[in-house]
Amino acid sequence: MTRTRLLPPLLVLVLAVCGVGTTGGSGEERHTPARASSPSAAATTEAPGSPPSSAPTPTGPEPTSCPNGKLIPAVDSPAVHAEKVVIPEAKIGGATIPAVTIPGVDIPAVHIPAQCTEIAPAPGGCLGAASIPPVSIPAVEIPPAEIPGVNAGGIKLDPVRADRTRAEAVHAEGVSTPEVCQVEPQGGGIVPLVIRPHIIRPLIIRPLVIRPLIIRPSACNEQNECIPAAEVPAVEVPAIEVPAVEIPAAELKAYEIGKSEVLEGDGSIAFSITTDVLFDFDSATIKPAAAAELRRIARQIEGRAEARATINVEGHTDAKGDDSHNQPLSARRAQAVAEWLATEGGLARSRLKARGYGETKPVAPNTKADGSDNPAGRAKNRRVVVSTAT
């Protein structure tokens, strides 16, 4: 009659699922779950069916700073390594039970690169387009493991198995919102409030993955020949969490059109001056009569601007004529104002950045509703905007 040191099957299953070890016939204590290995144990292969664990960002090298937004920190999860398990050969009742090797497990580290939110530069009176890029966490899989059964020399033990465990890839789509600008109504009045809405990329989580501990208990026959207990440790791959990312809403306040056009909001201030005040027709030479207004703007910027903030000078034209003429003219006019602010207005030249937009950013209709010319609207579109952060 076979004498078997055998745990009840239900108890073995409960202990395995809960990760609770037992002491087998050899007197060895249970192994703890395999967790993150040292760098020398890091794997060089991916889990079956998994996408690459680390990849450069779609636009190039991983960023360390974000000129037009905020840095989204990288997320790292360590490699997991579990040693192979060797069950040695045994001789029972003249029969040889061959040795068995149960492969180890190597789950590579995961690196989710740093990213940038972006708020695109925009001319005065506008809130730039905002965007948050997409992000993914790759799938992970722990292969199955099985300790073979024994049926020899009066000993019969059933095989013990842990099934494959897997967590699927998780993805969050990128989100964005377009540039919005204030537009002056025909005939004057109130320029309405504009809002760039709040956007958010939600939290994503790839859950913890565990292959439980499995144990084949020890057993002896009537001749007191014994098969020692065998076990394969649990393997645990930690959860990965990529936090939510958001860009808050921003607004440009409504204002009434008047002699001095000042646009404030979104942490900035902008001064819009019609080019008819600054320049003669088709000219980029500043009129002497414009000095008082430019000097007032320079004083306002000096008193209200954030220290060392860039001062943007943007030139705009109406839609009359070809853009091939209007765009260079707007650039020359912006450069002329920037030069005046540096040489006469006392602002640091290194902070001034001039750019021409031509006719691409109107603030008023160039034509009336019936399609006829709108001289008043075109006059408002011919402007130079000086803006900076506050």
Residues 262 and 323 in one domain: yes
pLDDT at residue 255, rounded to an integer: 55
Number of compact structural domains in the chain:
2
Residues 307 and 215 in one domain: no
Residue 162 above 70 pLDDT?
Answer: yes
109 or 2, greater pLDDT:
109
pLDDT band per the 50, 70, 90 thresholds, residue 115: very high
Q: Is residue 1 part of a domain?
A: no
Residues 135 and 27 in one domain: yes
47 or 320, greater pLDDT:
320
Instruction: Give the pLDDT confidence of 15-49 residue by residue, as tens digits.
Output: 333 333 333 333 333 344 554 443 333 333 344 43
Residues 91 and 16 in one domain: yes
Residues 39 and 58 in one domain: yes
Among residues 225, 247, 269, the one where a domain terminates is 247
Q: Is residue 347 part of a domain?
A: yes
Residues 197 and 276 in one domain: no
Among residues 227, 247, 267, the one where a domain terminates is 247
3-state secondary structure the chain: CCECCCCCHHHHHHHHHHCCCCCCCCCCCCCCCECECCHHHCCCCCCCCCCCCCCCECCECCCCCCCCCCEECCEEECCEEECCEEECCEEECCEEECCEEECCEEECCEEECCEECEECCCCCCEECCEEECCEEECCEEECCEEECCEEECCEEECCEEECCEEECCEEECCEEECCEECCCCCCCCEECCEEECCEEECCEEECCEEECCEEECCEECCCCCEECCEEECCEEECCEEECCEEECCEEECCEECCCCEEEEECCEEEEEEEHHHHECCCCCCECHHHHHHHHHHHHHHHHHCCCCCCEEEEEECCCCCCHHHHHHHHHHHHHHHHHHHHHCCCCCHHHEEEEECCCCCCCCCCECCCCCECHHHHHHHCEEEEEEEC
Instruction: Give the pLDDT confidence of 289-309 residue by residue, as tens digits.
Output: 788 788 888 888 887 788 888
Q: Is residue 146 part of a domain?
A: yes
Q: Is residue 367 part of a domain?
A: yes
Structural domain including 334 reads 258-389
Say what the pTM is: 0.55
Residues 158 and 16 in one domain: yes
Residues 158 and 20 in one domain: yes
Residue 188 above 60 pLDDT?
Answer: no
Residues 94 and 242 in one domain: yes
Instruction: Give the pLDDT confidence of 172-187 residue by residue, as tens digits.
Output: 999 999 999 888 676 5
